[in-house]
Amino acid sequence: MLGLGLLFGVAVGTAIMPIAGVEALLVGFMLVPGQSVPWWVAGLVAAAGQLRGKVVHLRLATRVAVIPAVHRRLAGTVERCRRCPRTAVGVVLMSSTIGLPPFTALVSAVAASGLDLRPLIPVAVVGRMLRFLVLAGSPALVQWL
């Protein structure tokens, strides 16, 4: 349990201050000999920590969005996303799963733009869960091969 708590805490911290990724820690955590935590539990814990940390970015970005220069700069992107919401959903899914564009930047831009987060949050959750479940399961898969 201590290991999962540490994993969650590092995931939250690296989501807030992305100076290092939690991905390497997650894979290393799964490679510890005698590891009794199932890969899917570790993956979900890492994903939950990352998503919890991104809430800080969401809150800060909504406050920054009231600055007129920021609002003007995002106006074109917001309009394109409102015209074609499937594109916004696709970009969020791609970013949350593979990290391109960087998920940290995307979370802030989406929040600052004032787009409706209701259709985007479930997509981001699914993407983050997929990302971290694959990472957590990768050591077992490599050993199995």
Nearest to 27 by CA among 131, 124, 112, 120: 131
Tell me which residue range forms the domain holding 44. 2-144
Counting the structural domains of the chain, the total is 1
What is the pTM for the complete model shown? 0.87
**What HEC string does the chain produce?**
CHHHHHHHHHHHHHHHCCCCCHHHHHHHHHHCCCCCCCHHHHHHHHHHHHHHHHHHHHHHHHHHCCCHHHHHHHHHHHHHHHHCHHHHHHHHHHHHHHCCCCHHHHHHHHHHHCCCCCCHHHHHHHHHHHHHHHHHHHHHHHHHC
Q: Encoding tokens for residue 109?
A: 């831009």
CA distance 142 to 137: 9
pLDDT at 98: 94
One pLDDT digit (tens) per residue for the chain, 145 residues? 778 999 999 999 999 998 888 999 999 999 988 888 999 999 999 999 999 999 998 888 888 877 787 777 777 777 877 788 888 889 899 999 998 888 888 888 888 777 788 888 999 999 999 999 999 999 877 766 6
CA distance 120 to 11: 21
